[in-house]
Amino acid sequence: MSQNFLLDAAKKYFTAGIVGLTISDRYASFTAVRGPSMSPTFNPHINSSTRSSFDDYVLVEKFCLDKYKFSRGDVVIFRSPSDYKEKHIKRIVGLPGDWIDLPSLDDTVRIPVGHCWVVGDNSACSLDSRSFGPIPLGLICGRVTHIIWPPHRIGGVNKKTNAFA
């Protein structure tokens, strides 16, 4: 009898694991936001000189990946163009065909088809498109829609679209 119980329990846990994996891969997942590059939108209690063990956790929806439908102001998670194992979270400020002014280089760049321009809300400490250029839309893993932790910060993510400094 205990052998049947163990086999039944293993089948249930395996099925639940497969269903959970499918949901997190295709529809939505949760992830931690670490570091100050998106402050004050995420981790507002962190600045570049302090570190904290408390991260914001966010809901990442993946329906946007079906046809790569994004808007200026969307906060997205994407794989680094230089290291596929790294993921970054930034705000889209430019879409294919847009012109982006780069004051620090005294230049203007046109975003190519199939790419977008992303920047961190805290530009002083953000590794973003100003460092590695426009990112391919295919590197985007999902759009951040809500903060789910800590409890006092639960809510939707603001789609502010002010230009970067």
Q: Provide, rounded to the nearest whole percent, the portion of the chain with pLDDT above 70.
A: 84
Task: Read off the DSSP letter of residue 137.
Answer: G
Q: Give me the active site residues, please.
A: 37, 90
Q: How confident is the model at residue 165 (pLDDT cuts 50, 70, 90)?
A: very low
Single-letter residue type at 69: K
Please give the CATH number for the structural domain made up of 30-156: 2.10.109.10
Task: Show the tokens assigned to 88.
Answer: 């970054």
pLDDT of 60 above 60: yes
Q: How confident is the model at residue 104 (pLDDT cuts 50, 70, 90)?
A: confident
Burial letters 54-65, b for 16+ CB under 10 A, else e: ebbbbbbebebb
What's the residue count for the chain? 165
Q: Provide, rounded to the nearest whole percent, the portion of the chain with pLDDT above 90.
A: 38
The residue-averaged pLDDT of 75-86 equals: 92
Domain boundary assignment for the chain: 30-156
* Apex 145 CA angle, 142 and 151, nearest 5: 125
Q: How confident is the model at residue 45 (pLDDT cuts 50, 70, 90)?
A: confident
pLDDT of 16 above 70: no
For residue 161, what pLDDT is reported?
55
Placement of tokens 């930034």 in the chain:
90
pLDDT of 143 above 90: yes
Placement of tokens 């507002």 in the chain:
44
Q: Cis peptide before 81, with omega less than 30 degrees from 0?
A: no
Task: Show the tokens assigned to 31.
Answer: 């992830």
Distance from C-alpha of 111 to C-alpha of 62, rounded to nearest angstrom? 23
